[in-house]
Amino acid sequence: MSKPDNSNADDFVQRYGGIYEHSPWVAREAAADAADCDSLECIAELMADCVDNASTERRLTLIRAHPDLAGRAQIAGELTPDSIEEQARAGLTQCTAEEYKRFQDLNDRYLQKFGFPFVMAVRDSSRAEILAAFELRLANDPRVEFETALTEIHKIARLRLQAMQAKETEK
């Protein structure tokens, strides 16, 4: 990726506003300092810092902006294009009826325990790996799981930035 042109805040938000799921506020807040970024890594770090320095309530809202994995939003066709691609690459669109039922049960148990959806960067994971992580993380303390969800969200953001770079390189 050549040096990004981050000099215009509106353009920055237009370009990167979807990196964090349904949370363009991350790009809006990062835009002020983005003119100094000269790499994808810099942009990723800048956006992650905006999230990490946000209030607990704002970070919780960010976590809650993520869809369930192999969940009802997928069935209803309500996922963002990035989420559709990520879940498809993980094979979540090919769940058997039994796997789908298991995902629904885990989604429900997780939400009931933590008050937010299970978030995992699934792009390079199999259904079995995702289900195993689900089971393992259900045992976490709520504070640990809150931080784990944010770590996964940052991974998702980096993967989305890398995918954006790859598409630009293809052109």
* Residues in CB range of 62: below 8 A, 6 or more apart: 20, 21, 23, 26, 51, 54, 150, 153
CA dihedral for 24, 9, 43, 147, sign (positive or negative): negative
22 is catalytic: no
Coil, strand or helix: which one is 7?
Answer: coil
Coil, strand or helix: which one is 155?
Answer: helix
Is the separation of the CB atoms in 91 and 127 below 8 Å?
A: yes
Q: Choose, from 59, 66, 127, 154, the residue flagged as catalytic.
A: 66
Q: What tokens does 43 get?
A: 């942009």
Q: What tokens does 16 get?
A: 């990167």
What is d(CA 20, CA 94) in angstroms, rounded to the nearest whole number?
25
What is d(CA 136, CA 121) in angstroms, rounded to the nearest whole number?
15
Q: Which residues are catalytic?
A: 66
